Amino acid sequence: MMHEMRLHKEPFEKIKQGTKTIEIRLYDEKRQLVKVGDTIDFISRKTGEILSTQVVALHFFPTFAELYKHFDKISLGYGENETANPNDMAKYYSQEDQAKYGVVGIEIKRL
């Protein structure tokens, strides 16, 4: 199955460079359709450029705080000099939504 997900410029570029290998999302109805082996086309919100990836694994957690404990910051899309903070996801997803759906780390590789 093929999926599309929009990304801001910075995470899009990090996937393109090959450093970001875990896409972090709420495990809502849309993400529950994603399976290992599926293709995800990431679309840059800034340029419209499309980057095709394949799902190699799905990692499920109750919260972003738990997810962040299991991956290094580079694979999550942070820079070497940045602090990985699960509270960064609060601007996208509420605590209530995390409690309702849980979260998923979608492990990807570029095609």
Question: What would the pLDDT profile of 61-91 be if each residue is shown by its tens digit?
Answer: 999 999 999 999 999 999 999 999 999 998 8
Strand 22-26, strand 39-44: pairing: unpaired
Instruction: Give how many domains the chain has, as a whole number.
Output: 1
CB atoms closer than 10 angstroms to residue 33:
10
- Report d(CA 98, CA 46) in Å as an integer: 27
**The pTM is what?**
0.95
**CATH classification of the domain holding 64:** 2.30.130.30
* Domain carrying residue 18: 2-110
